[in-house]
Chain A
Amino acid sequence: MQILKKTQLKALKVARDIGPLGVIERLNKKRVVGRGGASFPVSDKWKYAIETKSDKKYLICNADEGEPGTFKDKLILMKNPETLIEGIIIAAETIGAEEAFIYLRGEYIGLKKILESKIKNIIKKSKTNISIDIVVGRGAYICGEETAIIRSIQGFRGQPYYKPPFPPVEGLFRKPTVINNVETLVNISQALYLNDYNPDLRLFSVSGAVKKPGVYEFPLGTSLVKIVEEAKPRDKVKAVYFGCFGGCMKYKDMELTPENICKEECVHGAGTVIVVDNKTSIIDMAYIISKFYTFESCGKCTPCREGSIQILLLLKKLRGKKAEKKDLDLLKELALHIKETSLCGLGQSSTNHIITALEHFPEEFEELIIP
């Protein structure tokens, strides 16, 4: 796997040799994009932070990998933390930050000690004056959202706020802040040093009804069937979910590119593939995922706070075969409403799974309603 290749501080040397503008140019040329889900070009994000004048700047490594069915960052944190830390130092030196934070998912607290000793080591070896601190999250899914991370590190409730100002202009402690995902930062080190760096390789966390769940690396555009077959499905596959927020689609042979996934009304996200077999009902999936979102909604804005619990209540009614046609219509309307009017990415994508399920598997909903 390319992602596990170590750069041994040689990428940092390259970065120091070519300077910040050189780094940005190189990353632009190598087409390094954010791997957190939005695929925003790294060079653009950094450029904003470099251009903003400030006495202090911060770098945050987003290691709050909370999306159900996603565990690629955990693999990196366990198997290749050196390259990640190097990436953090490169990023911080490039944008001019002296302090960097790793916002570690609360459930990954077991990795903290090892990471800390690695950081100490690498900082010593690389002779950098950048400090890297690990902030451990308290288990809230919302803290994977960048503005919520900022508030959480500052000691406030982990709730998002609306942008602008965007973090590269005004973020942590109201200073320019760059927030990059774990996978992105590793890619930055690798893009600078590896001669055979391939920007199209993506990590896929495959789980669900498969015998060999795990992290797989494939180039963009690999067929969905190939990815799922690699993980050895247990039964006939009915559907795949692209994480909870990505939505679901009927299992079929299709090249996995963000565009193709978009055609199915789904969101590509962070390379999550949850395999659902024939024995599982889509309504049960919808119920479980809605339960997750009801619990993980931060409560800040009305549609997500009140809407998520109402969706759960409607699904409960549906599963209990007590729902009527008008309840199904309300479910549809509410799902769309939450998507359109919520404040942050969590709320906006929290009903994708219902919208896509209603689109691709309407019969499973309709057979449950009272005629």
Chain B
Amino acid sequence: MKITLNGKTIECDEGRVIYGICRQNNISIPSLCSQKGLRSEARCRVCLVEMDGKLVTSCSTYPKEGSVIVTDSERAKNARKRNIELMMAGHAHSCSIDPNANQLCKLLKEVGLTEFRFKKTRNYKQDLGSSVVRDNNKCINCGRCVDTCSKIQTINAIDFAGRGHNEHVTPYFEKNLSDVSCIKCGQCILNCPVGAISEREHLTEVIEVLKNKKKHVIVQVAPSIRVSIGEEFGYEPGTIVTGKMVAALRKCGFSKVFDVDLGADMTIMEEASEFLERLKKGGPFPMITTCCPGWILFMEHFYHDLFNHMSSCKSPHEMLGMLTKTYYAKKAGLSKKDIVVVSVMPCTAKKFESKRKELESGVDYVLTTREAAKLIKHFKIDFKKLSDEKFDNPLGTSTGAGTIFGATGGVMEAALRTVYELGTNKKLESPDFKVIRGMDGIKKGKVIINGREIKFAAAHGGANVRKLIEECHDYHFIEIMACPGGCIGGGGQPIPTNLEIIKKRAEGLYSSDSKDHLRRSHENPIVKQIYKEYLDYPLSPKAEKLLHTKYKKKSEF
């Protein structure tokens, strides 16, 4: 098909929207509301171009043979500018403060909008959830959070309500996010172009407690942070910055920096033992992993029949937090109440998890990756100039198996390494289970253990999770992560987070694993030591008390 684009005649495929054709031809058009992989609803009207003398949205208009498209005419530019100006009337945040704060701010600069002639019209109450906070006064009704929640995560916790200029995003009946079946995954935060949704910040509390000299403040860092926090300081996505991250956190004033990878190794020990026990007892299968607090909420709200299929293990950071307050406290001669544990997590649901009543939490505060970066910036630490440092002992030694927890399929792979070797007393030729890696929505595989075929699968992202759960009874062992990509695509990760960036972060994790000389959780000397000195053996009564938890049925609405 031939069309004329900005005066040049070009050949293009049929069935592509103008926006895509322009990108192919290196013409950039500003856009806000459309999301990759989803049908654009053409709400924001920012990507207007002229086609055959009419203004059309390039995200949703298909050109015809011989169409004449102009993207940079004064008329199109003015129309785009006007719509952004109108949007600003409904956007209470003053974007001039930080021109790089969000996508809308950048857009203002891009189109050169400086004059705002319209009266501001919004006045909403904030929705202060336990994990996710929404401010409708900043919202521009682009609908990306709604699309993410309903189409990618299939949770439908938020939707539009009200008409005309009173239209706004809200949970049903204007409830708070905490009171509805929101799984707190925070994917809406990653997709909001104006910062109207964000995590419930615990920065001030952490800064305050760091000043308290009587407290022994310990920070522990999740596996996926080391490949993502660098992005906040100008590194390429996927760069492994473990050493600098540890040094920076130590500089912030934390007395110890522990590694949640060790918690992950502990989780594997408990989970693998639980699975081997189920193999002996004959079920119930499938056993489903419980590292992801978003998934736990998902299950508690929507899948009440899966309760006895869930592993009873706490998530890795909760395990480590508990061990810090018991095992480490005893060892270091500290009182439990003097220890404050701060987790740096890629996740907003972990904030909720640490306040769960069903779970005696060892973690006092949870910071997201973004908050941790803010903390480092708050103390004016020059991240790039730091020299590498190591995690503190004793809770700082980990294996590659713990590291790959951050990517979808990682928990399953780490568990299989241990399940196989502990179950068969044979060593795996290669610890790699490549079938369970990658960004496919659902990944499946088989392994033979003691002559028995074990079917396993992993799913990530709400829509895929629902698909896998439909057929879950075909499997023995299932890993579920609520966020697309697993923790590396978590709701607390640096913005932007998209598929390409997630892939790079995954590469970082897997390369770190392959370079590690310890790649099996049961080979971790500290894990062995903890069992020897404190917990006796996996699934011992002491371990059950400290490292395992229960779940609670919640309403579907």
Contact = CB atoms under 8 A, between A and B. Distances in A.
Interface stretch (B113-121, B174-182, B228-236, B257-265): B113-121
Contacts of A300: 41, 43, 141, 167
Given A306-B90, A308-B164, A308-B165, A301 B43 contact: yes
B62 A343 contact: no
B142 to A, nearest CB: 9
A305 B167 contact: yes
A294 B45 contact: no
A313 B121 CA distance: 10
The 7 closest A-B pairs by CB, nearest first: A299-B167, A306-B86, A297-B164, A309-B165, A337-B82, A162-B42, A162-B60
Contacts of B79: 337, 340-341
Interface of A: 140, 157, 159, 161-162, 164, 294-303, 305-310, 313, 330, 333-334, 337, 340-343
Contacts of A301: 42-45
Contacts of A340: 55, 79
A301 B167 CA distance: 10
B71 to A, nearest CB: 15
A231 B340 CA distance: 83
Size class of the contact patch on chain B: 20 to 34
Interface string B148-171: 000000000001101111110000
Given A303-B45, A306-B86, 19 more contacts: A162-B42, A162-B57, A162-B60, A162-B61, A296-B163, A301-B42, A303-B82, A305-B167, A306-B87, A306-B121, A308-B164, A310-B121, A330-B117, A333-B82, A334-B82, A341-B48, A342-B45, A343-B45, A343-B57
Interface string B40-63: 011111101000000101001110
B164 A309 contact: yes
Contact of B163 (A298, A334, A341): A298
A306 B89 contact: yes
B83 A341 contact: yes
Q: Is the interface of B mostly helix, strand, loop or mixed?
A: loop
B163 A297 contact: yes
Contacts of B61: 162
B296 interface: no
Contact of B83 (A164, A302, A333): A302
Nearest to A337: B82
Contacts of B86: 302-303, 306-307, 310
A302 B121 contact: no
Q: Is the interface of A mostly helix, strand, loop or mixed?
A: helix
Nearest to B88: A306
B140 interface: yes
Nearest to A333: B82
A295 B41 contact: no
Given A302-B140, A310-B89, A341-B79, A297 B45 contact: no
Nearest to A340: B55
Contacts of A307: 86
B45 A306 contact: no
Given A306-B90, A310-B89, A298 B45 contact: no
Please indicate which of the listed interface residues B43, B79, B160 has the most CB atoms of chain A within 10 Å of its own CB: B43
Nearest to A163: B60
A301 B159 CA distance: 15
B157 to A, nearest CB: 16
B33 to A, nearest CB: 9
Contact of B164 (A299, A330, A341, A343): A299
Please indicate which of the listed interface residues A305, A308, A313, A333 has the most CB atoms of chain B within 10 Å of its own CB: A305
A303 B140 CA distance: 12
A314 to B, nearest CB: 9
Contact of B87 (A161, A302, A308): A302
Please indicate which of the listed interface residues B60, B86, B118 has the most CB atoms of chain A within 10 Å of its own CB: B86
